[in-house]
Structure 1
Amino acid sequence: MPRSIARHSRLRPTALASILLTTFGLPLAAQTVAPPAAPAGAPAEQAAVPSAAQAAAASSTPREVPVSLDQVVVTVQRRAETLQSVPLSVTALTGAQIKNANVNSPERLEQLVPGLRMGRSGSDVRPAMRGTYTENVSATSDPRFGVYVDDIYQSRTSQVPPMIDLARVEVQKGPQGTLYGRNSFGGNLVFHSALPTDELEGGIDLGFGNFLEHRAEGFVNVPLSKGIAMRIAALSERTHGYVENVGSGNDIGGESQKYIRGTLRIAPPSVRDLEVLLRASYQDLGGAGQGGFGQKYKGTLVDASLIRAPGESLTYNGITYQLPKGFNGNSFTGTPLPVDSRYRDGIPDINGADIGIPVSEDPYQVNFAGDIFRTGSQKNFGATLNYGNGPVRFRSITSFADFDLIRTGNSLTPVLLNYSYQQTLAKTYTQEFQLLSNDDKADALRWIVGAYFFDDTATDRSVTNVNRAYVAATAPPGQQYYPFGFTLLPSGTGLNQSTAFDSFSAYQQKARSTAGYGQLSYTLFDKLTLTGGLRYTRDEKNVLSARFNTSPTGPGAYFVHSIDDPVNYACGGFIAANAASVSQSQTAIDQAYNFVCAGNVYSYTNYRVAADYKFNADLMGYTSYSTGTHAGGFNSGAVTIGGVPTLLPFAPEKVKAFELGFKSTLLDRKLTLNAAAYVNDYRDLHAQTSIPNPNAPQTSVIALVQNVGKDRAYGFDIEAGFRPTRELRMSLAYNYLNAKQLDYGVNTFNFGGEASFCGITPSCVPGSGEQNTVQGTPFPNSRTDPNRFVPVLDANGNQVVSGGVPQYRYVLAGTGRDGTKYTAQRAFSPKHTLQFGMAYTLQLGGYGTLTPEFQTYYNSGYILTDLTPGYGNNEAFTKTDLRLTYQTSDGDYTVQLYVNNVEDEATISRAVYGNHRSLLVSYAPPRSYGARLSARF
């Protein structure tokens, strides 16, 4: 780092900017700049609320400054308020706290925020709070949590920018359906970047560690003239993958990114009540990333007692099955075996049976052929105008985002059987207008009205290319992979991919949302404040989904696709296969797929009523009742109704939430103690289930997402911060959550047929229960566990029969056939979490300070999949971070040593069942350690 950086008095503004840009190797053209402090009456994000210590310092000598906790400003009600004065459950972290705790990515927030879980798969973060979580992240869906960056809604969970030069992060718990609205179903994650100030200042942070090759971030703040300033923040980061690939050497989890953000603030003194904020950012993404959808297969469920050789029989729950092809023991009720059961390798695994390909039990080791990579970019532009005139303020927030990301994945096997690409594109425009009352303490009435417009085009395209050079029968021993089957050992020619199709899918969703909202608060007797809010939303969605249109026939016929092939997104349009395809007719290649389209309009209203009572300046109690909505949409797979391919819709999900809490500041402002109890009632939840086929409601069913789920969650949060002396700081948080599924019936799967469990024996004639099984395994089924298999009924109350097989739903939660009530655990919902942190600052005289610190997080464990909750779950765990920070007496230089996840806990951040019940998982990072060097000038 140049020595001159530490001497800001010797640098001109342009020189500071030049040094920062040169350090990060980012192009000057990629930036735009931005804003600072706030004029009188400016909205929340600009206002600064001094702490009690700062206020005292203005009128006292340093010896007389009382010890107290800093006050944090939040904007959960779209205006600036101190955290302790807001009658809502919010956890706020300042920029200094975020940097000190090495929160470099959103997943690290769960270490500090009570009640928050942050799952991840690929590039998508998956927040979870209060009994609900983010599941579907495709183009035809919407997240269940609102993610906001500088008051701008992000339509994809993969669009969260790097966490650099932030003013604060707010985690707003429970539905925020009135003032935020769009998909704030479970809560919001709100990121606020630092604003320009009237001071010439800057800083740089350099980080190194065991997985961190380098992380260099910095900012420069330059006042240009009176009331005009710019701030530029930039990042260059490269990390090593933390999942070792002993196959290709291409480790998983490595990041490579560059980012720059510019903010320009214009607040001319001649127009006292005007402020304009202009923002622009650019992000370049590379590296291997987290893989396409998951890091590795953990294993499958096998009941060794059920394994049978070809020709043997099996008796289960009093029912005998003849198995001419044998059975490998794969069972819903089995125990975990570390094999990938999608393919077999010809080597017996257990009881002489070939169950699949063995996988490493080390969570951070894989053996894969084929390198993976990630490439993408994101551009964001925003403009915020604030104008305060008398008792009324006006605000306009405008944004445009352009997101492009390609993720790749290999076949997750030691031999490259196929290679996948997934492309996600999103172009989003938003506009919001607000009129709100000024923050005059003397006014009993406070109000805000607003209008919101959202226009988003999201596109997903996936291609999986088959390795046509691979033929199992001619591969070397140990690399002979065969299709999954029930004979004990492979037979025949095995897997020959020379005639296999490349898989292809494409989806596009165009969403337009308009909303009007308002909230009014009135204070009586300077103590009691009553609040009411209302929001009306109209969502218009138009969806395109690619459907396989025709199949080539004859020897050697196959389709080839490329992620680079052009796709014309048009309703009813054909999508050509690549010219390398082999088919008996060119027409079949030209018309390999066609788009099916659908559109719908959803209108809904959310509201909030609340009351808070200020017992005194340091104690407030509050209660609220609010609603939230998660947008409806369309099933991505087309079904044929009346001869017409159709995309069937599902309605929005709904939540009603009741909260009761208090906020207190005690012991002469040395202690804050906040608590909130809540009950969330989730209705019309999206679930994959079976319904009668509209074409033939009495003779067949179709499986699709419908509004059939019902959940309930209740619990409480407690947060405390304590600073008994200037040197000692402590924090404690506890979260209790009881989340249950009350009504959740899922569709069953056909497990019959000549090539599967039933074979061609009389014991598996059509109508047997094995053709109504859960998650693709024969047990349980409607014969061995009849009470939880509820018949699918047509409009006349008759059971639907498809292909001679009576159809059922499996009741995971709800009412069984004999009236028994079942409940089930809710994924991502630990019953207990606990966070505790402590730091003590040692004064070193004129040499600065030394601060040892630890932060520990206990989680009682939770499931990650709704089915088979005993597998793919996180058992109880503790993760502890340790830090040792030295800072010079002037605060200009900081050196920090850190260890994250001291216990080296391997926790699963995402799990989903793949083919043949193999569990695909992603792991959160293991123990990491390193150093951070900081300079401020």
Structure 2
Amino acid sequence: MSQGYQNRITHLPRKKSKVAQAIISSLLIAPLLVNAAEEIAEEEVEVMTVTAQKRVQNIMKVPVTVDSVSEETIKQSGSVMLDDIDKFIPGFDFSGGDVTQAGVTMRGVSSPNISVGGDPSTATFFDGVYMPRAAQNVLFSDMQRVEVLKGPQGTLFGKNAAMGVVNMIPNAPEDDTYGFIKGTFGSDSMQRIEGMFNFAISDSVYVRMNGLSNKQDGYIKNVAQSPLNSKNSGDGGEKGHQAARVAVKWDISSRTNVQLSYDWDKLDQAPGAAIGLSPYAENPTDPFANTFANDVVNGGESRDMTATTFKLNHEFNDQWSMMFISSFREWETSNRIDEDGTAEVSRYLDTDNHEDSNIFYNELQVNYNSADFNYVGGITYSKEEVHQTTFINTTTDTAARLVSGQLNDQLSAGVRQEFAGAIGVNPDDVPQETVDFLLSQYGLPLEHMWDPEQWAATLNVMGAAGDIMDYLAYIGVVPPGTPLTADIVSLTGDATYDIVAQQMGIAEIFGPSYANQMWSENFINNGEFISYGIYSDFDFQLSDKWNVFFGLRYSEDEKDFSWQVSETQFAQVRPGVSNILFPAREQLWQSKTWNKTTGRLGAGYIINDDHMIFASVATGYKAGGFDSLNSPHSESDGSIIIDPNTGEIVDVAFAPEESVNYEFGYKGIVFEDIITTFSLYHNVLDDRQVSINSKPPGQSQALPTIVNQDMTIDGFELSMNWQMTDTLSTGFVTEVRQIDSSTEAFYNDSGTLIEEGTEANDSNTSYTLMLDWEPDISTGYAVVHVDYVFRENARGLEIGNDEWVNDIPHYFDDTKLLNARISWLNDDETIEIGLWGKNLLDNRYTGFPGGRTKDILGTGYTSVNKGMETGIDIKYSF
């Protein structure tokens, strides 16, 4: 076996230093020790570069739990995005269903990403630069590794690291000439092409270029037929994503280098599928049918993103060095999705989130390193400019249905009043059942006012029929004395509707000639966010066994944010019409500044060459912000709320998240061959910002809204790797977590008030089992990788769910996924052929419910995962 390929497998020679093995094991989880093998091959290597801690240091001195996924593991598992690798890291999950609204969940704490006024609880970095919300989910094109730091990282990373940090590190240009091209082909017409070329222009200037294109057809057929669309919005799960990067590195001298890189990212694919679970859906009771119906107009998810990054590294001497990084990233996104899960034009609702934003990020860092003392300090500055328009799109047919509901309320009130007067009781004493019975005698309540029979009955109950028929007789449409019937309504078209609209002064009552037109009400948000930070972190080696660490950071965040709701464009078609979902609002700005000092303190103790322990306490901070869909105009009539005590506009900013984490960990080698890391932690998170769909009184439709929650999280994480033979290794990673939470009162998506309360959740367990094997073959080399993922379902513990959620098929199932890949390389390792499979057990699960339209339109929905996928990949290296 060639030495180059031997370094590809998880092989740890027992003759090498066990101290070095323990150091490596503290960074790399069980099956991801490819890089560790490379380090151990050099017997004298006992320190590693931990870029997640922003300095070169002995990994034994990192006072937090750090996991890393290597380039080789990314390749062997066929991973192209963060949601492909979360299974390898305990305590880390990534929801990547919608690329532009994806989010990190760290130790049970997820991050709402739909609002540009807020921030995630876990910070994401790419090539040393902070990545906001819609920018953080990128393709793994030529990725060197991904590091995940769990627990608060407020000292070195500042805001939005209350629960941890995800650090993506691409490969840098090198003084060599090599490259590869690779094609992956599989189920649903998958076509994934990627390539890389690294070369030297001169003795001191190097260039690295790479690109990746990932395309795949959908796995559920969209059969929607609608008068609104000439074609549907695409099949569920359709993918279309490309990315490319060019980096140039110049070694100015032996102590100074600069790097300039340009990143390009383009996404254009079908929107996430809303699998309807209502009587009006394509398959009302079977979300796993091969067809669904989404009639969203011009639906799709897209993102155009570019970034330019400059990096300067300089060593003043053997102890002092500096790093400066400056980056400008900008992106435009659109995500228009179906919100009703049907193809019924009178139950239509979609949301279309457009964002046009940018961030200018800068950091100056200074390092000092000696045998007994290490220091890192610096300053950061960033400025974000954000613009988001959230379109709430419906149809005139749906608008008429909503107006019908308002008329039903008036009919009920009128019938109640009339009946109470007839029997001489207070109207409040008349049971609703009695009112419903009386209305049913006329074929009411009104389902849709464009139904001629129901509309005729409504006009007769309202007492409006006589005036209408007198007018129609006056203009010669009908003979005098003709009663109002469904035939008359059909014959006169919009006339009866226009008469009632004029008499009642309600322009939103209009006739069926306006069918199949769009009705949109738009939320418009703008913002400017400026963030500063200054930090210092110290590391002392007290003795051969003891080291201690401590650091502090001061962060300040200033946010200016605005809200505006535009008037529906349908008012240009029918003058006088006003918004029916949300009142129109003029632009209103608010400003607020938050600041916080965060820190950490830790110690490590080396028991012997095979075992060490560490303990740390750290605090984290996530900036406060503004809910883009919940503004100071929150009165039902759109008026501004004024504080009666101060006379000022009510401050609607939500509080920052603050966390403190206590952690104890072990790193070492058990029974001579099992590399083990584990940690115990206790995390207290105050004012967690939770995004829920809420429909408070006076609001016609549920919208994502931030509520605050206090949490206490206790957990245990374990990683183990057993090198059973020179060619066979097994791995195991697991986590057990218990969360106690206290949530403020809120209205859920059906308008039910969920009282303030405390929930004590049962322990939740997840694990991943892995196997890597290099079987003996006569020609070339072969590698087999298998992983099995188990995730215990904790959805039964969610607060505020409606009863209908309990009936979603397989929604409460535990997740069980089996994945595998077998590959062959020729003797000189220039050709590699791999066969792979994902979800080989073909297990199907439903995703989080969409209940935004459940109350007003009766249309709930969910999402579903992919079934089994298989394919082949071919790679040529040069």
Quickly name the TM-score band, shorter chain normalised: 0.7 to 0.9
| Counterpart in the other structure of 1:112 | 88
Map of 1:211 onto structure 2: 188
Q: Choose the corresponding residue for 2:240, options 256, 259, 276.
A: 256
Structure 2 match to 1:922? 863
Deviations 1:767-792 (A, max 9, x none): xxxxxxx65367xxxxxxxxxxxxxx
DSSP-derived class of the 2:84 partner: helix
Aligned match of 2:598 in 601, 606, 613? 606
Q: Quick check: 2:135–2:331 contact (8 Å CA) kept in 1?
A: no
Q: SS at 2:85's partner residue?
A: helix
| Equivalent residue, structure 2, for 1:650 | 654
Aligned to 1:839: 772
**Which residue number corresponds to residue 745 of structure 1?**
744
Deviation string, structure 1 residues 384-441 (Cα, Å, up to 9, x no partner)? 1110112211110111001111122245322343554321121100100101113x4x
Alignment partner of 2:117 out of 137, 140, 156: 140
> How big is the shift at 1:862?
1.7
* Structure with the largest fraction of helix: 2
1:296 maps to which of 271, 275, 288: 275
Check whether the contact 1:363–1:906 (CA below 8 A) recurs between aligned residues.
no
Shift of 1:227: 2.5
Indicate the residue corresponding to 2:665 in structure 1: 661
Report the CA distance shift for 1:777/1:228 in structure 2 as closer, same or farther (over 3 A): closer
Cα deviation digits, residues 228-256 of structure 1 (max 9, x gap): 21100111221111232132562022111
Q: 2:376 aligns to what SS in structure 1?
A: strand
Q: Which residue number in structure 2 is paired with residue 460 of structure 1?
A: 388
Inter-CA distance 145–923: structure 2 relative to 1 (3 Å threshold): farther
Deviations 1:882-937 (A, max 9, x none): 21111112222111111111122233454443133554433343321111111111
Describe how 1:49-128 pairs up with structure 2 within 5 A: 54=38, 73-81=49-57, 86-123=62-99, 124-128=101-105
What SS is found at the alignment partner of 1:381?
strand
Alignment of 1:327-406 (within 5 A): 339=278, 358=284, 360-362=286-288, 365-370=291-296, 372-390=299-317, 391-406=319-334
Distance 1:682 1:472, change over 3 A: closer
2:876 maps to a residue whose letter is A
Question: What do the CA deviations read for 1:645-668 (whole angstroms, capped 9, x no partner)?
Answer: 655112201111100001114566
Aligned to 1:309: none
Counterpart secondary structure, 1:622: strand
CA contact (8 A) 1:418 1:466 kept: yes
Q: 1:52 to 1:932 in 2, by over 3 A?
A: closer
CA gap 1:830/1:868 in 2 versus in 1, 3 angstroms = farther
Distance 1:170 1:854, change over 3 A: same
* Contact preservation (8 Å) 1:84, 1:664: no
Return the alpha-carbon distance in structure 2 between the equivalents of residues 419 and 739 of structure 1.
34
* Ranges in structure 1 where 5+ consecutive residues have no aligned partner: 1-43, 61-68, 300-338, 346-355, 474-479, 550-558, 562-576, 694-702, 749-773, 779-808, 815-822
Q: Return the offset for 1:369.
A: 2.6
Using the alignment, how far apart are the partners of 1:357 and 1:900 within structure 2? 26
Compared CA separation, residues 711 and 912, structure 1 to 2 (3 A):
farther
Rounded to whole Å, the distance in 2 between the matches of 1:523 and 1:70 is 15
Pick aligned residue for 2:528 from 498, 510, 514: 510
Alignment of 1:158-307 (within 5 A): 158-247=135-224, 250-268=234-252, 271-290=253-272, 295-297=274-276, 299=277
Displaced runs of 4 or more, over 4 A? 49-60, 69-73, 81-85, 468-473, 480-489, 494-501, 643-647, 687-690, 703-708, 917-920
Q: Does 1:527 pair with 2:545?
A: yes
Which residue type is aligned with residue 129 of structure 2? I
CA displacement, residues 7-58 of structure 1 (integer Å, 9 cap, x when unaligned): xxxxxxxxxxxxxxxxxxxxxxxxxxxxxxxxxxxxx9xxxx9977657767
Q: Percent identity?
A: 19
Equivalent residue in structure 1 for 2:343, among 396, 403, 414: 414
Tell me how far apart the structure 1 counterparts of residues 861 and 154 of structure 2 sit (CA, whole Å): 34
Rounded to whole Å, the distance in 1 between the matches of 2:95 and 2:324 is 33
CA contact (8 A) 1:224 1:230 kept: yes
- Structure-2 residue corresponding to 1:490: 447
* Residues 689 and 674 (structure 1), Cα distance of their counterparts in 2 relative to 1, 3 Å cut: closer
Query: C-alpha displacement at 1:734, in angstroms?
Result: 1.3
For 1:718-737, what aligned pairs fall within 5 Å after superposition? 718-737=718-737
- Residue 684 of structure 2 aligns with an amino acid whose one-letter code is D
1:931 aligns with 2:872: yes
| Alpha-carbon offset, residue 92 of structure 1 | 0.4
Amino acid at match of 1:595: Q
Q: Which amino acid aligns with 1:91?
A: D
Equivalence for 2:793: 861
The answer to whether the 8 A contact 1:913-1:919 is kept is yes
Partner Cα separation in structure 1 for residue 407 and residue 518 of structure 2:
13
Q: Structure 1 residues 598, 881: CA separation in 2 closer, same or farther (over 3 Å shift)?
A: same
How far, CA to CA, are the matches of 1:705 and 1:470 in structure 2? 24
CA gap of 1:505–1:844, structure 2 versus 1, over 3 A, is same
Q: How many aligned positions are there? A: 709
1:540-579 maps to which residues of 2 (within 5 A)? 540-547=558-565, 559-560=568-569
Give the Cα separation in 2 of the matches to 1:194 and 1:930: 27
Distance 1:472 1:650, change over 3 A: closer
* Partner amino acid, structure 2, of 1:259: A
- Does the C-alpha gap of structure 1 residues 378 and 363 become closer, same or farther in structure 2, counting only changes over 3 Å? farther
Change (3 A) 1:867 1:593: closer
CA–CA distance in 1 between the matches of 2:190 and 2:37? 39
Contact 1:119 1:910 survives alignment (8 Å): no
| Structure 2 letter corresponding to 1:376 | R
Superposed displacement of residue 379, structure 1: 0.2
Structure ID, larger Rg = 2
**Match of 2:555, as an amino acid?**
T
SS in 2 for 1:142: coil
What SS does the corresponding residue of 1:143 show, helix, strand or coil?
A: coil
**Cα distance 1:482–1:634, how it changes in 2: closer, same or farther (>3 A)?**
closer
Show structure 2 runs of 5+ residues with no match. Answer: 1-26, 28-32, 226-231, 410-435, 437-443, 452-510, 635-639, 697-702
- Separation in 1, partners of 2:557, 2:235: 42
Cα deviation, residue 737, structure 1: 0.5
Matched residues in 2 for 1:884 and 1:483: separation?
65
Asked if structure 1 preserves the Cα contact closer than 8 Å seen for 2:103 and 2:113, the reply is: no
Per-residue CA shift, 1:666-687, capped at 9, x if unaligned?
A: 566x532000000111112336
- 2:624 counterpart residue number: 632
Deviation at 1:613, TM superposition (A): 0.9
1:623 paired residue among 615, 640, 646: 615
Aligned equivalent of 2:757, options 808, 813, 817:
813
Quote the Cα distance in structure 2 between the aligned partners of 1:55 and 1:413: 56
Deviations 1:540-587 (A, max 9, x none): 0000111457xxxxxxxxx317xxxxxxxxxxxxxxx8xx4432599x
CA contact (8 A) 1:836 1:857 kept: yes
Q: Is the 8 A contact 1:134 1:143 kept in 2?
A: yes
User: What is the deviation of 1:186?
Assistant: 1.5
CA contact (8 A) 2:749 2:852 kept: no
Contact 2:624 2:656 in 1 (8 A): yes
Tell me the TM-score normalized by structure 2.
0.74
Shift of 1:523: 1.1
Distance 1:894 1:648 in 2: 57
Deviation of 1:83 (Å): 5.2
Amino acid paired to 2:784: P
Root mean square deviation, CA, Å = 3.8
Aligned equivalents of 1:359, 1:88: Cα separation in 2: 47
Q: Deviations over 1:58-87 (max 9, x none)?
A: 799xxxxxxxx9997532211234656633
> Secondary structure, in 3 states, of the residue corresponding to 1:178?
helix
Structure holding more strand per residue: 1
Query: Residues 852-891 of structure 1 correspond to what in structure 2 (within 5 A)?
Result: 852-863=784-795, 865-868=798-801, 871=806, 873-891=811-829
Over 3 Å counting, the alpha-carbon distance change for 1:392 and 1:246 in structure 2 is same
Aligned residue type for 2:265: Q
